[in-house]
Structure 1
Amino acid sequence: FASPCAGLCAPLGLLILYFFFFAFVLFVDPLDAKACPSGEFMCANRKCLATVYVCDGDDDCGDGSDELKCAAPLTCGPNHLRCNTSECVPLMWSCDGDPDCSDNSDEGPERCGGDGVPYLANRKANCTAGEFRCANGECVRLTWKCDGDPDCKDKSDESDCPLLTCRPDEFQCGDGSCIHGTKQCNKIYDCLDHSDESGCVNATKCEGPLKFLCKNGECIDSSKVCDSVKDCKDRSDEPKKECGLNECMINNGGCSHVCMDRPIGFECQCPTGYQLLDKKTCGDIDECENPDACSQICINYKGDFKCECYEGYEMDPVTKTCKAEGKSPYLLFTNRHEIRRVDLVKRDYSQVVSTQKNTVALDLDVANNRIFWCDRFHRKIYSAFIHEASDPAQQVPLVDSSLKTPVGLALDWLQHNLYWTDSGDKSISVASVDGTKRRVLINTDLSEPRAIALDPHHGFMYWSDWGTRAKIEKAGMNGVDRQVLVADNIEWPNGITLDVANRRLYWVDSKLHLVASVDLNGAHRRTHISSAERLGHPYALAVFEDRIYWTDRDRAAVFMANRLTGQEIHTLAENLNDPHDIVVFHQLRQPQGPDSCNLGSVANGGCDYLCLKAPQITEHSPKYTCACPDGQDLGPDMRGCVPAPRNDLTTPSHSAGLTPGTRVTVAEDFSLPSGGVSQADATPHLTTAPSGAPESLTPLSTLKPVSSQESKALVPVVATVVFGLVCTGVYLVWRNWRRNSTKSMNFDNPVYRKTTGEGEEDEIHIGRTDGMGHHAHHHPYPQGVSMGVVGAGGGTLRGYVLFLMYSFGLCVIPGGPWSSGNTV
Structure 2
Amino acid sequence: LFLLQFRLSNQSGKPQRMNGKVHGKVYVGNAPTPVEFTSNDLHSYVVVNDGRSYVAISDIPQALGPSLQPLSALGAVIGWAFALEQPGFKNGFSIIGGEFTRQAEVTFLPGNEKLSIRQEFRGIDEHDHLVVKTSLEGRVPEVPQGSTVQIGPYSEIYQYSNNLITSSSTRDYVVSLPDGSTDTRTHQWRQTISFTSCQHDVSARDTKPTQMLSVDQVFVMYDANNELIRFAMSNKIGDVNGEPQENPCFTGRHGCDTNAVCRPGEGNQFTCQCAAGFNGEGRTCYDIDECRGDPQICGFHAICNNQPGTFRCECEDGYQFDSDGHTCIEVSRPTDACEEGTHTCDSPERAECSYTGGSSYICSCLPGFIGDGRICQDIDECQPGRCHQDAVCQNTQGSFTCQCRPGYYGDGLSCFPGKCVGVLSLSGKRSQHPTRTERRRRTKTQCENHRDGLQGVIASGPRGPRPPVGQYIPACDENGAYEPMQCHGSTGHCWCVDRNGQEISGTRSGPGSRPMCIDHSGGKPPVGPDTRPDVHPLPPGTHLLFAQSGRIEHVPLEGYDMKKDDAKAVLHLPEKVIIGVAYDCVEKMVYWTEITSPSISRANIQGGEPVAVIRSGNLDSPEGIAIDHLGRTMFWTDSVKDHIEVSSLDGSQRRVIIDSDLVNPRAIITDPPNGNLYWCDWNRDAPKIETSYMDGSNRRVLVKDDLGLPNGLTYDSQSSLLCWADAGTHKLECMHPDRRDRRKVMEGIQYPFGITSYGKNIYYTDWKRDAVVAVDRYAATESDEFQPLKRTKLYGITTAYAQCPSGIKTIMGLQQDHMFILKTFGAIKVLTLF
TM-score, shorter chain, exceeding 0.5: no
Q: Rg larger in 1 or in 2?
A: 1
Give TM-score scaled by structure 2 length. Answer: 0.37
Highest relative contact order (Cα 8 Å, sep 6+), 1 or 2?
A: 2
The structure whose residues are more often helix, as a share, is: 1
Larger strand fraction of residues:
2
TM-score normalized with structure 1 length: 0.37
